[in-house]
A and B are shown apart, each in its own frame.
Chain A
Amino acid sequence: MIISYFAWAAAVTGFCALAMVGRLIAGPTVPDRVVALDSINTMVIALMIILSLVYDSVIMVDVAIVYAALSFVGTMFIARHVEGGV
């Protein structure tokens, strides 16, 4: 069944997101950690979109859209903080 390939793709994407946590912990400077966090957010959005097909629920994509907006605001805010504004 083709849907199981989507489940496997979701698993690999989730593994990538988990692997990025290593850079989040180890990153020598603060911007390194922000890069890792931003990539994790992107991966989680991709994961949610794939899983919405696997579990057959449109609501997951809506959550992904809101997650994208919130992660964007979060990244901008942290960047401004690193710059020394806030």
Chain B
Amino acid sequence: MEKAALILLTIGVLFNFLGTVALYRFPDVYTRLHGTTKCTTFGSIFTSAAVVVYALQMYLRTGEGRFTTLSVHVVLAILALLISNPTGAHAIARAAHRSGVLPKYAVVDRLAEDHRKKGGVSA
């Protein structure tokens, strides 16, 4: 049973590390956002799941109430992260496109085309 926490922890750390690599490897803001938002959210969920699993095991072993408190608080923190992270990524992507940072190596950019069609500021 202790193995479960370790496996979750390893997967989480691996994905957090991949997020860091993505930040350096991808060529422009949008692809970097892809890498970091997905990998760090997923990785953080897994490391926190490991914490919850381990804390519940400790609760079953010792019966101390603070371990359940810890699990409940960790779950709340994860929910906050799960809602706020994609919203933040969306805000950054929109701000980047409106401030004129265009995607590199893009094969198609409908948003810029539609801006031009409407006669607005061509982003």
Contact = CB atoms under 8 A, between A and B. Distances in A.
Task: Consider the complex of A and B and state whether they touch directly, i.e. have CB atoms less than 8 Å apart.
Answer: yes
Interface of A: 2, 5-6, 9, 12-13, 16, 19-20, 22-23, 29-32, 34-36, 38-39, 42-43, 45-46, 49-50, 52-53, 58, 61-62, 64-65, 68-69, 71-72, 75-76, 79-80, 82-84
Nearest to B57: A2
A79 B23 contact: no
Interface string B1-21: 010011001101100110110
Contacts of A75: 88, 91-92
B77 A83 contact: no
Interface of B: 2, 5-6, 9-10, 12-13, 16-17, 19-20, 23-24, 29, 32-33, 36-37, 40-41, 43-44, 47-48, 50-51, 54-55, 66, 69-70, 73-74, 76-77, 80-81, 84-85, 87-89, 91-92, 94-96, 98-99, 101
Contacts of B37: 38-39
| Majority SS at the chain B contact face | helix
Contacts of B20: 16, 19-20, 39
Contacts of B92: 31, 34-35, 38, 75, 79, 82
B51 A53 contact: yes
A65 B77 contact: yes
Contact of B44 (A42, A62, A71): A42
B81 to A, nearest CB: 6
A3 B119 CA distance: 60
B44 to A, nearest CB: 4
Given A53-B70, A68-B81, 8 more contacts: A38-B92, A45-B77, A46-B40, A49-B77, A53-B54, A64-B77, A76-B88, A79-B95
Contact of A52 (B50, B70, B81): B70
B23 A23 contact: yes
